Amino acid sequence: MNEATPSAEPTGVYAKFETELQVRPDDIDMYRHVHSSRYMDYVLAARFEQMERCYQMPMSEFEKRGFGWFMAATQMNFKRPLGLGDRFIVRTWIEKFTLIGVKVQFQIERVADGKLSCDGWFDYVMVSIETARAVRLPGDIRAKYAI
Amino acid sequence: MNEATPSAEPTGVYAKFETELQVRPDDIDMYRHVHSSRYMDYVLAARFEQMERCYQMPMSEFEKRGFGWFMAATQMNFKRPLGLGDRFIVRTWIEKFTLIGVKVQFQIERVADGKLSCDGWFDYVMVSIETARAVRLPGDIRAKYAI
Amino acid sequence: MNEATPSAEPTGVYAKFETELQVRPDDIDMYRHVHSSRYMDYVLAARFEQMERCYQMPMSEFEKRGFGWFMAATQMNFKRPLGLGDRFIVRTWIEKFTLIGVKVQFQIERVADGKLSCDGWFDYVMVSIETARAVRLPGDIRAKYAI
Amino acid sequence: MNEATPSAEPTGVYAKFETELQVRPDDIDMYRHVHSSRYMDYVLAARFEQMERCYQMPMSEFEKRGFGWFMAATQMNFKRPLGLGDRFIVRTWIEKFTLIGVKVQFQIERVADGKLSCDGWFDYVMVSIETARAVRLPGDIRAKYAI
């Protein structure tokens, strides 16, 4: 076939959003760096902020419709540790949609030098709060997030 | 009045209960000691365990009846910091009942040397989960806890 | 003695400083409010920020001189819980100096309605990092903080 | 060469170790499940306990020799959430050694029903505390851990 075929599914380069945050003293561990598990909390915090500000559909709206997000899997690569008082950017974007969720990529960069501190991805699945089971991503929600 | 008057309210020396716990690595802060706010979490953990094992009324039973516990105030005195891997005893007891709650005293002792690490008290108020307002402590609950 | 006596020690009304922070999703507990122990972390975060910005002597400078701050005691009064995404002001000020430390008062107010969420005080003692023992507050440090 | 060659490196099936822990109330999030990032803390806690009890070389001994462990990467798969008060087993084992570290596999199982809650792996790199750079795994340490 020689002609360009319109894809039913765009190859999907989705918008990247950024949230700036700062390390809190209680995030610091015995090595005087941010404790590993707190990077997961930072991405979560950025994602909540971006759901409201960037996707125009905050967590509270999901809940009103009886939906929650469950983290099904993650991969995280720790490059350079953040330290006390560091400011950092959390950049996230949707890599792809599945029938029941999204794969979100992220990067955490230190503001002071722009260097990458941590990157990776999170697989989220949409669940019904009532049944605690995965549900098919509603079309209107997908549309809001496919920007 | 010259005669001893029977008190409607016993002067109340209530039972002391103990729970043994261990410091988790994520509790350690930049000074290589347990982070101050985690002592509060330790008392909470011990209290939940004792509600079930010692008072025979676990948190889940309060919730079935529509009640929750709200921490209204605390005082904590930090004596000797716990460190990585330390085992410790959390001893708690009710100092007194109020119409709407209890004042709980606590002591945290390091197992290795029996020395006092932290002590203080928590004021808890019983709230209705529905209204989020304080409610009068039901008589049967008070009876279960006045041991 | 009928005459007013000049006090060697001014009655000390020390400067109040404010830091604005936001609740992170990982601060939220099973009651959908900020978990009690995180308020302690909020005051700590504000205090670190104010040590640098307001008192012109950040934590790192204490450490270069071999000093750390140990929290000796706290009282906290929980008035109105903060919730997901709430912005809040942490206001702190020195109530008084002791030979070896300071008593810091704090208030946490929700930005949305200006209502008091939590208040109380922290007693901090200055320790030598080398000996882990309390030390007398050096005059120049006291001067920097007595603003 | 027609004959089977004895491998200098055994195909390495390393010992699996188990630590039993319990969910603390402060681990619970707004969905009334263990907060995602706390599973990382659970594996860390189990690993510290097993380093001492099973490998006979606790974290403190690494530090005496000037070494620390840095988490370089992780993948975690969340299967079934743990809830308030749940007891669970953390099973870990070394999957393979690299020149500068180890890949550790883990499984978290709920005690009540033996069902898998979370699994995945952690890549750890040995670092010099002085230089904060990766170092080659010393032979005697590797020997202690290759059980």
Q: Which DSSP state fits D71?
A: E
DSSP state, residue C90: E
| Neighbouring residues of A32: CB distance < 8 A, sequence distance ≥ 6 | A83, A84, B30
Q: What is the pLDDT of residue D12?
A: 60
Instruction: Supply angle C-alpha B37, B41, B45, rounded to 5.
Output: 170
In this structure, chain D runs to a length of 147
Q: D32 and C30: CB-CB below 8 Å?
A: yes
Q: What angle do CA B87, B90, B91 make, to 5 degrees?
A: 140
Please report which helix (H) or strand (E) contains residue C49, including its range: helix C36-53
Instruction: Return phi, psi of residue D100, to 5°.
Output: -115, 10
Residue B72: both structure tokens together: 């209204």
Q: In angstroms, rounded to a whole number, what is the distance separating the alpha carbons of residues A99 and A72?
A: 14
**Candidate from D40, D78, D81 with C-beta closest to A36:** D40
User: Which 8-state DSSP code applies to residue D137?
Assistant: P
Tell me how far apart the alpha carbons of residues D97 and B119 are, in angstroms, rounded to a whole number: 45
Query: In chain C, whose CA is at the least distance from the CA of B73?
Result: C77
Instruction: Compute the distance between CA of residue A44 and CA of residue A48 in angstroms, rounded to an integer.
Output: 6
Instruction: Show the domains of chain B with their CATH numbers.
Output: 16-145 (3.10.129.10)
| Cα–Cα dist C42/C89, whole Å | 10
Cα pseudo-dihedral A58, A60, A65, A70, rounded to 10? 80
Chain C CB contacts of B81 under 8 Å are: 70
Give the pLDDT confidence of A77-101 residue by residue, as tens digits.
Answer: 999 999 999 999 999 999 999 999 9
User: Closest by alpha carbon to A45, among A92, A81, A85, A83?
Assistant: A92
* 8 Å CB contact between A92 and A16: yes
Q: Rounded to whole angstroms, how far apart are CA atoms C71 and C68?
A: 10
pLDDT at position A3 is 43
Nearest-CA distance D55 → chain B (Å): 16
Task: Tell me the percentage of chain A whose pLDDT exceeds 90.
Answer: 83
Instruction: Supply the angle between the helices C36-53 and B36-53 in degrees, to the nearest 10.
Output: 180
Give the separation between CA D92 and CA C34, rounded to whole angstroms.
33
Please state, for a pLDDT cut of 90, what percent of chain D lies above it.
84
* C77 Cβ contact partners less than 8 Å away, ≥ 6 residues apart: B72, B73, C118, C119, C120
Q: Rounded to whole angstroms, how far apart are CA atoms C85 and A45?
A: 9
User: What letter represents residue C142's amino acid?
Assistant: R
Is this prediction's pTM over 0.80?
Answer: yes
Question: What is the edge-to-edge ordering of all strands in the sheet holding B87-97?
Answer: B16-22, B87-97, B101-110, B116-128, B67-78, C67-78, C116-128, C101-110, C87-97, C16-22
pLDDT band at C3 (very low <50, low <70, confident <90, very high): very low
Beta strands in chain D (DSSP E): 16-22, 67-78, 87-97, 101-110, 116-128
Tens digit of pLDDT for each residue in A10-55? Answer: 456 899 999 999 999 999 998 899 999 999 999 999 999 999 999 9
Q: How far is C33 from chain A (nearest CA, A)?
A: 14
Q: What's the pLDDT band for B13 if we cut at 50, 70, 90? A: confident
Chain B residues bordering chain A (beta-carbon distance below 8 Å): 25-26, 28-30, 32, 35, 37, 84
Tell me how far apart the alpha carbons of residues B115 and B88 are, in angstroms, rounded to a whole number: 10
Give the rounded percent of residues in chain A with a pLDDT score beyond 70: 92
